[in-house]
Amino acid sequence: MTEQPEPTSATPDDNFDETLGTSISEPTPPKPPEPELIPSEPEPSIPLEVSLPPTTQATLSEPVKRSEKRHRRRGSLFFPLLLIVVGGVLLLNNLNIIQGSTWDLLVSLWPVIFIAWGLDSLWRGDGITGAVFLLGLGTVFLLGNFGYLSLNPWQVLLAIWPVLLVAIGIDILISRRRTWWKTLFGLLIIVMILAGALWLAGVSLPGGQRVSGDHVEYGLQGATSAEVGIFPAAATLLIDGLSEPEMLLIGTIPSPTDNQAIFQEFSKEGEVAKLRMQSSGNQFVWTSARENQLIWDLELAQSVPLDLKIDLGAGDGTLDLSKMQLSNLDYKMGIGKVTITLPEQGNFLAKVDGAIGQVTILIPSGTAVQIDADTALVLRSLPDNYIEQGENTFVSPGFSQVENRIILDVNLAIGWVTIKEQ
């Protein structure tokens, strides 16, 4: 009998009816590669990556781009405002409407930088905190430079700096859901707080009553020379010559308060009288500014050689030393401005160091002076007839031909230095 193949061993597939025997004897299944070619896991990830992110990005990017475009449309006002102010001042000065030298006017107008900065911040929508504070600060300094305030601006800065913290808090509150009326309301609140703080700090127009402090006086007690050290932390310092021959110092200093006092020490060693006056306490907690304006008004001896050392943390200084016999001058300041009138005769070193501020030194005409100006970000104005000798060194005409010479060493990091003859 002929053996017939069993139908059950054949693969039930119509496509392989002619090669049934081969398919059975050589197992090459077509289905195993299918899981590798068509994996189950990537299927959900492919449509997610293709469909969802583009929609999300398109939806989220449009308002961002629109806001960026709106922001870019508002250019900066800083430099245009500075150019307008400087150009206007130069024009008025050329027309003799504003008197004075161009340099002095420009130096007095430096607080306009703060005002332009503040207006630019408001224009660009950077927030109202810094803008209002800069506007107020620039206004105070500008009025102070032109003599319209009875208190120096550097003291005001030490008094009102906590207003900045209050303004930051208000700005954070209104920035959560900023609207035009919330911005206007926050702006008015900050302006009122700043104005109140300035009033409490003692800022007022000139002509008001200036409260006098404590009277002080020290005699020479037979000394033939003196060493005087004056170290206010924050003050308006006024120094002039004293005509009484037997006195070393006469003047007025701020009265002591709960926050600060003035340490005074006098001694005499041989023929040398030594006086030291230094403020102590917390100058940043200033609760009695209206009653005590931190004015040091002093007169110093002209009859004996004087070694004068001054260290003023913040404030204004006006030193008329024209009739004094100086053996040495060392003036240091942190932030502020100072005007120093040097004596006509002398052979001494005058050193002026400062961080930020304005230094003006008046030299009597014909006085032999050598100026060593070590300045960084500083604008300098020197007499035209001074001769440059090396880097940052200048001498007056005929300096090497006289014996009495004044060596002037000026070191200032940021600000303005003006040296002129009178």
Domain boundaries, the chain: 75-200, 214-421
- SS3 call for 4: coil
Q: How far apart are CA 325 and CA 328, in angstroms?
A: 9
Q: Which amino acid is at 293?
A: Q
Q: Which two tokens stand for residue 406?
A: 């004044």
Q: What is the pLDDT of residue 205?
A: 47
Q: How far apart are CA 181 and CA 196, in angstroms?
A: 22
Q: Which two tokens stand for residue 115?
A: 């005002």
Q: What is the pLDDT of residue 25?
A: 47
Q: How far apart are CA 41 and CA 343, in angstroms?
A: 93
Number of H helices and number of E strands within the chain?
10, 14
Q: What is the pLDDT of residue 5?
A: 53
Q: What is the pLDDT of residue 48?
A: 45
- With residues binned 3-state (H G I as helix, E B as strand, rest as coil), the percentages for the chain, rounded to 5, are 35, 35, 30
- SS3 call for 250: strand
Question: E strand or H helix at 332, and its extent?
Answer: strand 325-341
Q: Where are the beta strands (DSSP E) in 259-323?
A: 260-269, 272-281, 295-301, 305-320
Q: Where are the beta strands (DSSP E) in 342-405?
A: 348-363, 369-381, 387-388, 393-395
- The DSSP call for residue 155 is H
Q: What is the pLDDT of residue 163?
A: 75
Q: What is the pLDDT of residue 316?
A: 86
pLDDT tens for each residue of the chain, 422 residues long: 445 555 544 444 444 444 444 444 455 555 555 554 445 555 554 444 444 455 445 444 555 454 454 445 466 777 787 788 878 877 877 777 776 667 677 777 778 888 888 888 777 777 676 777 788 778 877 877 776 665 566 666 766 777 777 777 777 776 666 666 666 776 677 777 767 766 665 555 444 444 468 999 999 999 999 999 999 988 889 999 998 999 999 999 988 877 778 999 999 999 999 999 998 865 544 444 444 457 899 999 999 999 999 999 888 899 999 999 999 999 999 888 899 999 987 789 999 999 888 899 999 888 889 999 877 667 788 888 899 887 889 999 888 888 788 999 999 888 888 898 88
Residue 181 near residue 223 (C-beta atoms within 8 A): no
Q: What is the pLDDT of residue 378?
A: 75
Q: Cβ–Cβ contacts within 10 Å for residue 178, how many?
A: 13
Q: How far apart are CA 135 and CA 276, in angstroms?
A: 39
